[in-house]
Structure 1
Amino acid sequence: MTTPLYDPTRRLFLRSAAAATVLPFWTVKGAFAEELTRTPDQTEGPFYPNKLPLDTDNDLLVINDGITPGVGEITHLTGKVLDAKGNPLKNAVVEIWQCDGNGVYLHTADSDKKKDKQDKNFQGFGRFVTGSTGEYYFRTIKPVPYPGRTPHIHVKVKKGNKSLLNTQLYVKDHPGNERDGIWKSVKDAKQREAITVDFAKVKDSKVGELAANFVVVLGVTPES
C-alpha cells in the first residue's frame, strides 16, 4: 500500500493532528493517577541513526517536499507523554525510528549491506515536540518484521539534554511477539500490554490507513 502524492496542506495537518488525540479516561490528569502503568525501559538497539536524515519531521512517509512516498501501510501514530504522577509533559522531544517496509534501518551498519533493498523514500526517523497536553503525532508505516525481531517501533523521550526513556512499541496480536526475546523480557503483564498496540483501520479511509495510540508513562517526574 502506498501513500497519495504530496499534499501542500500536509505540513499544516501534521502540526495540528496531535490535538485530536483521544485517550482513555484514566490518562486524564489527576484521574486514577495511581493506576497508571509505567512504560518499561527497553534497549535502544544498534540502529539509532548514526547519520540523521536532513528531514527529521514527524512525517516519515515523505522526505522534505518529495512526491514519492515511502512504501507501507500508512499509520497515524498518536499518543501522550505523562510523568510519574499522570501529568502531561510539555515540550518533551519524542523520537521514533524503525526499519522501512523492506526491513532496512537508516543506519550505515544495516543500509550499506542492503543498498538494493532500502526504501530511499522512507525517512526512517522522526521527531515531535509535545504540546500542552503532552500530545505527539507521527505519520509513518505499520512496522514490519526485521530478521530475528517481531515488528516494532523504537521510541525515545528527551527533555532538554536528558534522555528520559528508551522503549519499543509492538503490534497487538502479531504472532512474532511470543518469539521475540525483547518483548518477552517484559515480565509484568500490564507493562507488556501497555507497549503492545492495536493498529486499527481508519474508518472511511480510501487507502487503508491505520491508527495506533501509544501512551508513554515515565517512571520519574522530570524537572521542568
Structure 2
Amino acid sequence: MNHRRHFMRNFVAGAAGLWIPGAFAEALTLTPRQTEGPFYPTDLPLDTDNDLIIINDSTNPSLGEITHLSGRVLDENGAPIRNAVVEIWQTDQNGVYLHKGSDGTEKRDGNFQGFGRFLTGSAGEYYFRTIKPVKYPGRVPHIHFAVKMKGREKWTTQLYVKGDPANEKDFVIRNIKDAAQRESVIREFKPIPGSKAGELAVTFDIVMGFTPQDG
C-alpha cells in the first residue's frame, strides 16, 4: 500500500516538472463542454482516490489495459488552475458503470473503482491510473470528466480514444460542431516503452473558457 502511494506521488511530481510556464504560448482551443450523462455514480465508492485499478489495500487489480491518464487544467490564456477537483468515471472492462441503472450490473468488475478524484497542483496538473475505456451499447469508448471549483458550477466533458472508427458516428462527439474542439477531446492512448504489462499513457489538457481573475 505504501509503495503504491509512493509511486503515485512520484509520478505526479515528475510529470509536473515537465510543465514549464510560457511553454504553451500558442492559441489554445477551449475544451468543449459535454453532457454528464446518466451514469455519474449513484453511490460513491469508499475509495475515491486517483488509482482506479486498486481499491483500498486490495491485492487484486481490475481487468483492462492499465492507462496512465494525466494532464493540466488551464484557463483560456494557458495559466494553470490550481486547487480544482477533477473527477473521472467510466465503465469497467465489461462495459458496466458503477451505477444501479447500468446494464449488466451482475457482470461488474468488483476490483475496478469506477470513479476517482484528484486536486490539481500548482501547475494545474492531475493524474489518474485507470484502464483504457471500452465501448458499451450505444456509445464509443470514453471517460467522463467533471471539474469542480469553489464558487462555480460543475463543468463536464468526455475524453475519447483516437483511431476508434466508431467515433465519427457517435452522437455526443458529432454534437461538437467546432472541428478543433472536437479533435481536442480525441486523444491517443500510447504504449509506454518498456512496459512489460503493456501499459498505456494518454495526456488530456482541459482548457476552461475563463481566467482565474473572474473569481
Identity of aligned residues (%): 58
Alpha-carbon distance in structure 2 between the residues aligned to 1:23 and 1:47: 35
Alpha-carbon distance in structure 2 between the residues aligned to 1:163 and 1:65: 34
Corresponding residue number in structure 2 for 1:119: 109
The C-alpha deviation readout for 1:51-80, integer Å capped at 9, x for no partner, is: 000000000000000011110000000100
CA shift, 1:187, in A, is: 1.5
Corresponding residue number in structure 1 for 2:174: 184
CA shift, 1:13, in A, is: 1.6
Corresponding residue number in structure 1 for 2:201: 211
Alpha-carbon distance in structure 1 between the residues aligned to 2:4 and 2:23: 34
The C-alpha deviation readout for 1:81-123, integer Å capped at 9, x for no partner, is: 001221001111000000000000001111xx52321001100
**AA paired with 1:10?**
R
SS in 2 for 1:80: strand
Alpha-carbon spacing, 1:130–1:22, altered in 2? closer, same or farther (3 Å):
closer
Structural mapping, 1:6-25, within 5 Å: 8-21=2-15
CA shift, 1:162, in A, is: 2.9
Give the TM-score of the pair, scaled to structure 2: 0.93
Structure 2: gaps spanning 5 or more residues: none
Alpha-carbon distance in structure 1 between the residues aligned to 2:25 and 2:98: 37
Give the TM-score of the pair, scaled to structure 1: 0.89
Q: Answer yes or no: is the 8 Å Cα contact 2:86–2:147 preserved in 1.
A: yes
Pair 1:166-2:156 in alignment = yes
Q: Answer yes or no: is the 8 Å Cα contact 2:90–2:115 preserved in 1.
A: yes
SS in 1 for 2:71: strand
Q: Answer yes or no: is the 8 Å Cα contact 1:74–1:141 preserved in 2.
A: yes
SS in 2 for 1:116: helix
Pair 1:147-2:141 in alignment = no
Alpha-carbon distance in structure 2 between the residues aligned to 1:175 and 1:8: 41
**AA paired with 1:81?**
V
Q: How many correspondences in the alignment?
A: 214
Alpha-carbon distance in structure 2 between the residues aligned to 1:28 and 1:36: 16
CA RMSD of aligned residues (A): 1.9
Alpha-carbon spacing, 1:217–1:28, altered in 2? closer, same or farther (3 Å):
farther
Alpha-carbon distance in structure 2 between the residues aligned to 1:211 and 1:23: 17
Q: Answer yes or no: is the 8 Å Cα contact 1:154–1:168 preserved in 2.
A: yes
Alpha-carbon spacing, 1:199–1:51, altered in 2? closer, same or farther (3 Å):
same
Alpha-carbon spacing, 1:28–1:66, altered in 2? closer, same or farther (3 Å):
same
Alpha-carbon distance in structure 1 between the residues aligned to 2:10 and 2:185: 25
Corresponding residue number in structure 1 for 2:34: 42
Corresponding residue number in structure 2 for 1:105: 97
**AA paired with 1:56?**
T
**AA paired with 1:203?**
P
Structure 1: gaps spanning 5 or more residues: 1-6
Q: Answer yes or no: is the 8 Å Cα contact 2:16–2:125 preserved in 1.
A: no
**AA paired with 1:37?**
T
Corresponding residue number in structure 2 for 1:3: none
